[in-house]
Each structure stands twice: as C-alpha cells, then as structure tokens.
Structure 1
Amino acid sequence: MTGGAVYLLLGLSLLLAIVLPQVTRRIALSPPMVLVGVGMLIGLLPLTDSISLEPQDHRDLVTHVTEFTVLVSLMGVGLAIDRTLDLRSWRSWRTWSPVWRLLLVTMPLTILGITLLGWWVAGLTPAVALLLGGTLSPTDPVLASDVQVGEPLTDDVGGGPDDEDRPEEDDDIRFALTAEAGLNDGLAFPFVHLGLLAVAGGLGVGDVGAWLGWYVAGKIVVGVGIGLLAGWLLGRQAFRARADTLRLADHGEPLLALAALLAAYGAAELLHGYGFLAVFACAMRLRASAHGHSYQRAMHAVVDRLERLMTLLVLLVLGMAMTQGLLRHLDWRGVVLALALVLVVRPVTGYVGLRVLARDERRAGGLDHGEMAAVAFFGVRGVGSLFYLAYAASHEHLPDEPWLWSTVAFTVIVSVLLHGVTATPAMARLDARRGSSSG
C-alpha cells in the first residue's frame, strides 16, 4: 500500500469517525460497529495484500497501541465522572456501591466462569484458561458510548456536590459502568499475572502467597498511591499555584491532562505499580481538585478527541485483520465461549453482584431491578482484552496462541455488535422511565 493510499484511507476514516456520532445518535447503530465494518472493507482491498496483520507478528506494536488507547480512555473516564469519592467518608463510599459490587463480586465470578468454560468446554489447560479469564474480564464502555457518562458537569453548565439524595444529572447506570471500566482495566492485571505464573511453570503455595502479597496488594497500593499523589500535585499546580504563570487553569491549557496521564503512568511503572490504576486515580484526584471548574471540560475535551483517534485506529485495524485471516482459527469452542460470556456469564454474575444485599434504590448508588439488569448486561468487551492478550503473549509462550487471538477478537466483535445494537433503545427506555417516575 502506497503512502498516498494510507493517508487517503486514514483521512476518510477520520472524517467518518467525526460524523458517525451525530448520525447514529438516535438509531440502533454504534460508531464502533460502522468503523469495524469499514475496516473489513478496507481489508478486502488488494492494496492491503502485502501487509501482515497477524497479531503474532506484531506483538509489541499491538501491546503499545492498545496500551496507550486504554490509558487515554482511563484519563477521560476519570475526568468525566461527576460523583466524587471521598476516601475519608463512609457515606461517599456507599454511593459507589454498584461499582464495588461489580469489582469484588462480578469480576472474580466472571473470571471463574470463563476459566471453567475454557477448561471444560474448550479443552484448554487450567493455566491458559485462567489467563483467558483474566484477559476477557475487563469491560470497556468506550465502545458503547450510550452506556458511559458524558463530558464532566461544571459550574457553568450545572452540577454540584454530591448528597445522599440522587441528583437529577447523576445517572447510576452510566456511572456504574463507567467507573467499573475505569477500575477493572487495572484490576484485571493481577489475574493476568496469575495466569502467566501458571503458564510459566505451575503454582505452588509460595507462588500464591507472593502473588497475593505483591501482585494483588502491593502493586495495587503503589499504583493507586502514585496516581493520587500525582493528581494532588498537578491539581494544586493547575488551580492553586501562587504564581499566575503556573496556574494553568487560568490560562486554559488543556494539555495538562495528557501530561498527567504520562507522568502518572510512567512513575507507577518505574516503581512496579499498576499504571492503569495510577492514571485513573490521578484523573479522579485531578478532577476533585476543583470539581466544578470549567477547565475540567477543556482537559476532558482534549483527551476525548485523542481517545477517538486511538479507538478509530484500533477498530479499523481490527476490522482489516478480520478479513485478512484473524478469525481463521476460530472454531465452535471459541464461538460458544464468546456467546456464553456476553449472554450468560456477565449478565448472571453482574446481576448477582448487584442484587445481593442491594442498596436502597432511592439513594445514590442504589439501583432498581431494571437498572441492575441493564448494568449486568452491558459489560462491553473491547480494547483492554486485546491489550492483555498481547501483553501475555509478549511475556510467555502461550499454547494455542492463534486460537486465543481468534477467540478474543471474536468476543470483542460480538460485544461491539450486540451491545451497539441494544444500547441506544435500552438506555432510551430507561431514561424515559426514570423521567416519568421523577415527574
């Protein structure tokens, strides 16, 4: 493919990505669905015949591109969430009730369910099945925009501090799905590491103890701690610096968000913490520094545009790879596993996690039965799963790697199609019901 053809295709694709959100806003067709379809059409062109799109040939490239895409989305999610989490307030923790349930109950049960399916149905070794469970566990609402929160509310467009009563602008469904994705993209790492340890040579009692002490507790604490510190320092500098020239919020320079992303992630990785958690924690703390300031919207706008570009690139290449043989190793086992995850495992485990000892639906953080069902169903699989598989494949030799790539890619496509078609009507119905009940 010539350089001119590449630029032409990228330009037309970017134009399409700009127009799609407006065109598809009121119909059951999501931009990711269209972008994957466009990628498939591009992959059929003879211009792409000389390009290898086998992920095994580009593990490092796939790892870094998907890694950066996830990082940008995490920064955007952290800046967009309007519900502040005050670590010193039990009342504030309780307003995040659906998120903790999805992380502490639904996520481990999902990993267990996928592991058992991979072992008993697909015939994988327990180690590879566990690795697949960790790979497919994170959710990604970026690929279904109707189920994520929008841009941050600030003083110039409404919003205000949290209280125990549910604010009208605070949507518990979108909040729960968005915050879940912001945290489980990092919390999947311990389980991926556990799978890698098992693939590398089995797990003894000492290995499990080390995993619990360092990969679960230590790296999480380091990542979150660095993120909170970075967000606090950058927030003070941006909003409260004594020198006017250093108070970036007054100058409206939104690239601070990108600087914060890179600094938090780099520091966490250098200290061997979880960088994904550091970026999300940094974004949350930066937002809390001046919750209602209009500068928050400016930072989010920059990250949102970069996220669109990176998602465009990933989805186009994913679509191209599909018509270039990415799914050639897919068999009935992969189809069953993908459909079971999207249609059974996630909805059931999600509902169980939200339903047991549920918080009062009249309070912030409480969901009624319909809202629980929606949150349980819309566990979108996406770029995070592609990253974790690429990361694992670049660190250990994986048995059945081609089959794993086909299965994970097929799962992402199924999720993009199913959740993309159902998100708009489902959320419109829930919004209408919420409006009628409040009116």
Structure 2
Amino acid sequence: MTAADLLPAPYILFLTGAGVLIALVAWLPLALRRLPLSLPIVCMGIGACLFLLPQITLEPLPWRYPHITERFSELIVVIALMGAGLKIDRVFGVRRWGITWRLIGITMPLSILGIAVLTEWALGVPVAVALLLAASLAPTDPVLASDVQVGPPKTGEEDEVRFGLTSEAGFNDGAAFPFVHLAILLATAAAAGKPWLVEWLSYRVAWEIAGGIGAGWLVGRAFGWLTFHIPAESKLVKTGDGLIALSATFVAYGLTEAVHAYGFLAVFVAALTFRHAHREHDFHHEMHTIIEQVERLVMMLLLILFGGALVSGLLAGVTWADAAVAAVILLVIRPLSGWVALLGYPAATGEKWTLSFFGIRGVGTIYYLAYGLNHMAVANAERLWGLAGLVVFLSILLHGLTVTPIMRSLDRRHGRDPDAAAAPPGERRAPAD
C-alpha cells in the first residue's frame, strides 16, 4: 500500500469539511457575540489559511469562474432578503418607514454619483465602467449587515438604527439594479450607436421596479393565505415546517425574473407581505430560523472562498490609487451621503452617525459586479475585481471590528441590556401568544 492509498478520498474530505463548516455555523455566532470580532472576519481568515495550504491548488478568483460567481452570490443575496423581510416587526407605511426612503432615495443615489465621479477621475475608467463600479459598491449588503439588523420576529429589537439599516439593505439591492443596467446600456449603446434612454426609463426603471413590487406582493399574499388563512386543516402552518419560507423565496424570485422584473425587490416585498399576513403568529420564528441557518451556511462558504481569493491574487493588481479610492468610498462618501439624507430627521446625533457609518459592502457588491461584467465587455476586469475586493475586505474588517462596541453602546444609551440583545435567537424569543 502506497502513501497515496492512505490519503482520504476527495469525497470523504468534502464530507468532513462540510461537517466542520456546519458546526461552525452553529457555534461561532455564540462564541463571538461579546467580542469585537465578526463572523465574516473569522470565515475570511479560515479561507485564507485553507487556501494557503500547498495541498489545495484551486484559486477561487472571480474572473476565472464568472458565471459561478454571479449565480452563487445571487443565491445568497436572495435568501438574505427573505430573512430581512421576515424579521421586520414594523408595519409597512410611508411615514413609519420614513428613514428607509431617505436612505434609499438620497443616500444611495448620492453614493452612486460620488463613487462614479471619483472612480472616473482617479482611475481614468470610462463612464460606463465607473457607473458599474458605483452601482456595485453603493448598496448596503443584506448578508454581511446582519450584525446591525433587527432581531428575530417579535423580539422587540427594532430601534431606529437597526430598523433603518435592515430596511435599507432590503430595498436597495433592488433599487441599485437600474443603475447596473444603465451602465450596461451605456457600454453597449456606445458600441452599437443605439439610443438607450427610452429603454432604460420605460423598461429597466418603470417596468422592472413596478413588476418586482407587484410580483412580490402577489407571491407574498398567496403564501400568506396558503400558510395562515386557507379554511382547511391543510393550511401550511399546520406542518410547522419553516422550509416554506425558502419555497416563497425561490418562487418569488423565479416568477419575477421570468417576467423580466427585479427579483431582489420581489423577494423582499414578498417577505414583508408574507409577514403581514399574520404578524403575531409564532410560525414566523420557524420560518426565520430556517432562512437564517441556510443564509449563514452559504454566506460562510462564500467568505471562505473570498478569503481564498485574497491569498490567490485577488488584490495583486491593486495600486495605491485604488487603495485611496476604497478608503474614500468607505470613510467619506457613504458616511457623508448618509448624513445628508438624515438632515432634519428626528434622531440623536449618535444614531445618525451610526446609520451613516454602517454602509457595509459585501456579497451584493460581488453579485452586481459579476452580473455587469458578464453582460458588458470591460478591459482589465481583474483591476475592477481588485478594487471591489479591496472595498469588501476593508468593509468586513472596519465594520466587523467596530459593530460590537458601537451597537452595545447604542443599546446602553437606550436602556437595554446589550448582553440580552446579543443572545442567540432561541434565548431572545418573545413569549407565545
């Protein structure tokens, strides 16, 4: 028997690694809840260590696997959007969601404008490429922002900061898509000499936004009725199986994309509508728990691959100009645009700065950039990936190291016990009605 025969088969190694990953999914949030260290930082570090091993020859660089990168990041964002919608307790309303409209209608467009101008001026990229970068880097990520979002359904952990960041992350992924499509249209129209404004306004803006909202509402209503209100013993709530939330996620996204509307927007609207069908039912806990566990599992896998990409050359082409641009995006453009949006809003100064500061970049950025590069020809795409990867890496470090002390301080100012707020979902659950 040779030494090679003694080595485990790749399939056995895969099963072992999957088991370890699932154990970490369950254990790490508990272990890190009081530390100034986030789960994404740990996952990124694990990935870097794994892919530095000489036995692992795979280099998970996004430009080598463009379609896998797009689809895998798309899946994670879709699942995260359902989770974000299900855990929001606040009833939807124009005035009650005023902070959301400010962050979506002011902060995100200002961020896109600022990033586009900055990247075109500092990096010398074409307008279409600058706009694609801006649309990819502007939205707050619904996946990595979980540490600053509201708690599970009915826990009452919904102060203005947590609600604002959760609702912003839910809506702005859909709201950023028109700008991604605008970048693609500008690139293709310039090459073909075709008009683009009418198509963008009528199809990419008016129809796809309206279609996404409408489709999400219809799917949410249908699942809400089937789950809670169908006059029969066969209604879905009787199963007690939270997997129905995953079903609603995929149905809402699939049907909406089939009619060429914004599936991200549809999933979040479907989640809000589903939650509204019977706001106080304990079954929302089961649905949210399933979504949260699946989201955490696929998120950790992506971040392990991202850590592997970092040590495989993702940042090899990054220049000092790129680093300066990344710092300005995170430390100037997002905080400043957030502060402008919140001028005159009735909130404490510390809350406004917290809302402005936590513009976390992550999986959404990876998806949008992959989508854009798969639909338009861009020279030197590796440099764009390097800049985007640097922004995501710095965001994970910056926000991950500051989220625990900042949110604990916020809880103390509001008279809440930060240790109770950091407890796992099972320890925070509101009593059943």
Same fold (TM over 0.5): yes
Residue 163 (structure 1) aligns with: none
- 2:94 is equivalent to residue 79 of structure 1: no
Residue 66 (structure 1) aligns with: 73
- 2:390 is equivalent to residue 383 of structure 1: no
Q: CA deviation at 1:206?
A: 4.3
Residue 374 (structure 1) aligns with: 354
CA contact (8 A) 1:141 1:379 kept: no
Q: CA deviation at 1:205?
A: 9.7
Q: CA deviation at 1:94?
A: 1.1
Q: CA deviation at 1:266?
A: 0.9
- 2:206 is equivalent to residue 217 of structure 1: yes
CA contact (8 A) 1:30 1:144 kept: no
CA contact (8 A) 1:17 1:35 kept: no
Count of residue pairs brought into register by the alignment: 407
Which residue type is aligned with residue 10 of structure 1? A
Q: Which runs of 5+ in 2 are unaligned?
A: 1-8, 417-433
Residue 413 (structure 1) aligns with: 393
Q: Larger deviation: 27-36 or 252-261?
A: 252-261
Q: CA deviation at 1:14?
A: 2.9
1:83-103 Cα deviation digits (max 9, x unpaired): 111xxxxxx311211110010
- 2:213 is equivalent to residue 233 of structure 1: no
Once superposed, which parts of structure 1, at least 4 consecutive aligned residues long, lie more than 6 Å away?
none
Of residues 216, 221, 231, the one that matches 1:242 is: 231
State how far apart, in whole Å, the 1-side matches of 2:158 and 2:394 are. Answer: 30
- TM (normalized to structure 1)? 0.90
CA contact (8 A) 1:146 1:423 kept: yes
Q: CA deviation at 1:133?
A: 0.4
Residue 166 (structure 1) aligns with: none
CA contact (8 A) 2:323 2:387 kept: yes
Residue 307 (structure 1) aligns with: 295
State how far apart, in whole Å, the 1-side matches of 2:304 and 2:412 are. Answer: 34
Q: CA deviation at 1:262?
A: 0.9
- 2:173 is equivalent to residue 185 of structure 1: yes
Residue 129 (structure 1) aligns with: 130
- TM (normalized to structure 2)? 0.91
Q: CA deviation at 1:399?
A: 1.9
Which residue type is aligned with residue 353 of structure 1? A
The SS at the match of 2:129 is helix
State how far apart, in whole Å, the 2-side matches of 1:15 and 1:45 are. Answer: 22
Residues 394, 181 of structure 1: alpha-carbon distance in 2 compared, 3 angstrom cutoff: same
Residue 10 (structure 2) aligns with: 2
The SS at the match of 1:83 is coil
Residues 329, 3 of structure 1: alpha-carbon distance in 2 compared, 3 angstrom cutoff: farther
Q: CA deviation at 1:333?
A: 2.3
The SS at the match of 2:312 is helix
CA contact (8 A) 1:141 1:147 kept: no
Percent identity, aligned pairs only, is 42
Q: Larger deviation: 304-313 or 133-142?
A: 133-142
CA contact (8 A) 1:144 1:420 kept: no
Residue 114 (structure 1) aligns with: 115
1:320-350 Cα deviation digits (max 9, x unpaired): 1111111111112221121111111000000
The SS at the match of 1:267 is helix
State how far apart, in whole Å, the 1-side matches of 2:90 and 2:239 are. Answer: 26
Residue 96 (structure 2) aligns with: 95
